[in-house]
Structure 1
Amino acid sequence: MSKKSGFTFIDLFAGIGGLRTAFEGAGGRCVFSSEWNKFSQQTYEANFGDVPEGDITKIDENDIPDHDVLVGGFPCQPFSIAGVSSKNSLGRVHGFLDETQGTLFFDICRIIKAKRPKAFLLENVKNLKSHDKGKTFKVILNALREQLGYDVHYKIIDASTQVPQHRERIFIVGFEEPMDYEFPELEDKRPKLRSILEKRVAQKYTLKDGTWNSLQRHLAKHKAKGNGFGYSLADRKGIAKTLSARYYKDGAEILIPQRNKNPRRLTPRECARLMGFPDDFVIPVSDNQAYRQFGNAVVVPVVKEIAKSMIQCMQHGKKRITIMDYVK
């Protein structure tokens, strides 16, 4: 990879393009994208001018363009380690294909195997590391390191230094060659929630009496049982809880207090800001779909810094000396 030239990447499980926004911001050019959800495809097209390919399981890896970096926020599905019935997808019946058969992570592996990108970045919920007592993550690392031969690094990062939201996600970085890579130290900006709030908000975002009363009863019920479930009134001078894809239901995890009124939900634009998307990011879908989309998205500024650190590492040739180098 030339120090002066840009780099190419592909965007898998693309959602609405949070990873693409970040990697383009780091100087990359997207040459392929895949996303099966039709509403996410609409938002993606409105912002990037092209419609992602559909179901990744039906895409031939050999039809995907060559690229420098593979990026993907793959869904965390249950990993079936035993009892695999079909083992012939790539003409092999052993190794990581057995362990990850039937999962979407398998599709990332087959694409990496076929295209051998110089690097990859994968993103997932932080619980991926502890899922099934660590067995799932062990399978993933084994596939990436032992079966595919990549130098793999991972870290759980809280985005609250970049956006006013507590949001922990695991990032997995891999290089085709051994690299002295370190995740970037993010500048501690600690923005306040009030910085992303709109000054004028339509009445429709204020909770109706029925919804608000129901949430209060729900909280009281669980509080009596000693549970922590219920709604959360956000502090404008602090940070919000994690925005989830279920936010469209009642907004319970992040409610904005209002004087002499029921609390309100965040608007879709505020959700976009909470995830670090620029204000010119187009939201062409309904509010409910927008809530789902931003709840599933990545925090753009965090990924942009990781992308820049990856490219700098590759461009400056920070190759780690291994025993094989001495043998040569």
Structure 2
Amino acid sequence: MSAEFDFIDLFAGIGGIRQGFESAGGSCVFTSEWNEFSRKTYSANYKERNDHIFAGDIVPYDEEMIPDHDVLLAGFPCQPFSIAGVSKKNSLGRPHGFECTTQGTLFFDVARILAAKKPKAFMLENVKNLASHNGGHTFQVIMHTLEKELGYHISWRIIDGRYFVPQHRERIIIIGFREDNDFSLNDFKLPDRQPVLKEILHPEDGSEKVEQPYTFGDMARVHSKYTLSSNLWNYLKEYSERQKAKGNGFGYGLVSGNDVARTLSARYYKDGSEILISRGTNANPRRLTPRECARLMGFDDSFIIPVSDTQAYRQFGNSVVVPVIKEVARIMKPYL
């Protein structure tokens, strides 16, 4: 069956945006992702046509070599604009936003491809802080580029993934169409109910198939390696107390099955502190397994995780919430 529209997948990560637009009948004709571990996960999960190009770094890539397409998709790197990224760069005396030449200017690679290929539409995804970064100036530059210089009609909205998955995850979605139409992100529909963590956690009661190395035994219990050591748990509790004494809100996020988690970040592999699963009052909490992280981002259990836990945590922490993108694709499709 032929595709209903073609798209390209830039800064593709592990393909969460691609999943959303394939669900709406689209076909990916070009992919770009520079990270070797993300490329490994992406390649393990998506079948490519014979003529499909899987490029690495998009910066030196000639835009004229990119196939024609209906929709450009890009979750361009967000670290230069994220609250955590800006704070870290400020503390190190490093530039951020568009002054961060290694990542912040990657938006302009999106712009040069839009200028050359003139697709019918695009969808960009980034952190919520993009809208307010540098007093709003960064966002003004992006909007001016997309609207005034490239001539696209823009709709944007900040969407919290918690309506689709049990995780607070606010992201900005920017849609552009070359032709003027009545498309609006106000048509984006939220589910009737909000999920909670127990819907994505391993039940550990034998009702779930064992998936090594994450779960073991007749009851498919979570491997003990995901439980925090007493040293790490005590450190996190002491650190949290010190921060509270200073009036800061920083600390670990201890949650149970009926809760909604904080935002999963790419640093989760370090100590798991933002999402720790309670094991009861007298037991140390545990990290999420990579499979639970996949579910927390809306990937189903058929999604292959061919990399180490460290790389998997980074990849899911950098991913989009797949059902959010599916809904975006659904409402864009009639205008393609």
Match of 1:215 in 2: 236
Cα distance in 2, alignment partners of residues 242 and 187 from structure 1:
19
Distance across 2 between alignment mates of 1:102 and 1:191: 34
Distance 1:18 1:161 in 2: 17
Aligned to 1:264: 286
Rounded Cα–Cα distance in structure 1 between residues aligned with 2:98 and 2:237: 40
Q: Is the 8 A contact 1:272 1:294 kept in 2?
A: yes
1:300 aligns with 2:302: no
Among all aligned residue pairs of Structure 1 and Structure 2, give the percentage whose two residues are the same amino acid.
60
CA distance in 2, matches of 1:47, 1:307: 20
> Following superposition, which runs of at least 4 residues in structure 1 exceed 6 angstroms of deviation?
none
Cα distance, 1:192 vs. partner?
Answer: 1.1
Post-superposition shift, 1:234?
A: 1.1
Correspondence list, 1:150-299, <5 A: 150-183=152-185, 184-198=188-202, 199=204, 200-259=221-280, 260-299=282-321
CA distance in 1, matches of 2:269, 2:47: 27
Residue of 22, 25, 50 corresponding to 2:23: 25
Q: Do the aligned residues in 2 keep the contact of 1:256 with 1:266 (CA within 8 Å)?
A: yes
* Mean Cα deviation higher: 225-234 or 169-178: 225-234
Residues 102 and 168 from structure 1, CA distance in 2 versus in 1: closer, same or farther, beyond 3 angstroms? closer
- In the alignment, is residue 138 of structure 1 matched against residue 140 of structure 2? yes
Kindly provide the CA deviation profile for residues 175-198 of structure 1, in whole angstroms up to 9, marking residues without a partner as x: 011121122122233011100001
Contact 1:66 1:115 in 2 (8 A): yes
- In structure 2, what is the Cα distance between the partners aligned to 1:231 and 1:175? 42
Distance 1:248 1:188 in 2: 33
Aligned to 2:88: none
- Please name the residue that 1:92 is paired with: none
- For 1:277 and 1:214, locate their aligned partners in 2 and report how far apart those are by CA, in whole Å: 32
For residues 197 and 104 of structure 1, the distance between their equivalents in structure 2, rounded to whole angstroms, comes to: 36
1:157-177 Cα shifts (integer Å, max 9, x gaps): 001111001110000000011
**In structure 2, which of residues 126, 129, 135 is the aligned counterpart of residue 127 of structure 1?**
129
8 Å contact from structure 2 (residues 3, 27) kept in 1: no
AA in 2 matched with 1:110: R
TM-score, normalised to structure 2, is 0.84
What's the offset of the Cα at 1:49? 3.8
Match of 2:75 in 1: 73
Note the residue ranges of structure 1 that are not aligned, 5 or more in a row: 85-100, 315-328
Partner of 2:118: 116
Q: Cα gap change, 1:80/1:273 in structure 2, threshold over 3 Å: closer, same or farther?
A: closer
Q: How far, CA to CA, are the matches of 1:282 and 1:14 in structure 2?
A: 16
Partner secondary structure for residue 258 of structure 1 = coil
Counterpart pick for 1:7 among 5, 8, 15: 5
Q: Is the 8 A contact 1:222 1:228 kept in 2?
A: yes
The answer to whether the Cα contact below 8 Å between 2:167 and 2:296 also exists between their aligned partners in 1 is yes
Deviation at 1:264, TM superposition (A): 0.1
Q: Residue 192 and residue 66 in structure 1: after superposition, are their counterparts in 2 closer, same or farther (change >3 A)?
A: same
Q: Which amino acid aligns with 2:174?
A: I
**2:28 is paired with a residue of what secondary structure?**
strand
Gaps of 5+ in 2: 81-95, 205-220
8 Å Cα contact 1:158-1:166 kept in structure 2? yes
How many residue pairs end up in the alignment? 294
